[in-house]
Copies of this chain bind each other. A is one copy, B any other.
Amino acid sequence: LPKPSPNSRSTSNRARSKADGVLTRERIVAAAIQEIDERGLAAFSIRNLAGRLGVYPTAVYWHIANRNLILAEVVGQVLGGASPSANLDWRDYLRQLLGRYRSAIKAHPNVAPLVGAHLIGNASIPFAFVERLLAKLSEAGFTGEDLVDAYNTVVAALAGFITQEFAPVPEEGGDAWRAGIQERLLSVDAKACPTLAANLPLLANRAFILRWRSGAEAPLDASFERYAETVVAGLERFAEQVRAPAIRR
């Protein structure tokens, strides 16, 4: 065997698995998830991926067309099993769906920026997921345009919290960087920002924009629960209006 690849890390020269040493689309995606988990999305490259797989970078292109497609498969894989079972009240279904989406990303926080930020490329449409959500919203009473709006609201809500909660810290995010944010936060002008100043201990590192740790290190469990309940309650109100269309606010 020649050297595995010019880009393979010299410290860990794992040979390509010999049992069935074939490169497949599945093995490529699995390795991509590992690579992103361990080294982050910013450092993910075809060349590093090939190094991990013990092949030349260009070998990957025989199995999958480009980098974006790999990332689309990665998010598909990570979120794959997140659709809850169908025999639930629609409210509980939404609660479970939101929670399971979050759990899936919590297990692979570095893929969070991929959720919702891009129209997934040529990856296949997740028909089962879409159908079940639509069916549940139909059970709630939504039809026609209302069904479209309710569906879009739920999908938007699925991404809203977790993409921010698990958003990666900037690469320069050392202790100095964290200390800088904390310092600026503590130096808030209590005259100009009385509400912020009064609640600073509660908000620091626990509120979006005002934190210096990602959800991977400091999860926002309580806020997420409230977020999910808010979405469900809002849709409940929407469903009531839909079912009693005579009463307009």
Contacts and interface: CB of A to CB of B under 8 A. Distances in A.
Interface string A147-169: 11111110111111101110111
A118 B168 CA distance: 6
Contacts of A126: 209
A223 B164 contact: no
Interface in A150-208: 150-153, 155-161, 163-165, 167-173, 177, 180-181, 184-185, 188-189, 192-196, 199, 202-203, 206-208
So how many copies of this chain end up in the complex? 2
B237 A192 contact: no
Interface residues of A, number: 86
Given A125-B210, A164-B155, A230-B237, A147 B223 contact: no
Contact of A118 (B113, B135, B153): B113
A184 B124 contact: yes
B127 A189 contact: yes
B149 A202 contact: no
A-B complex: 5 closest residue pairs judged by Cβ atoms: A160-B160, A234-B234, A230-B234, A149-B226, A152-B223
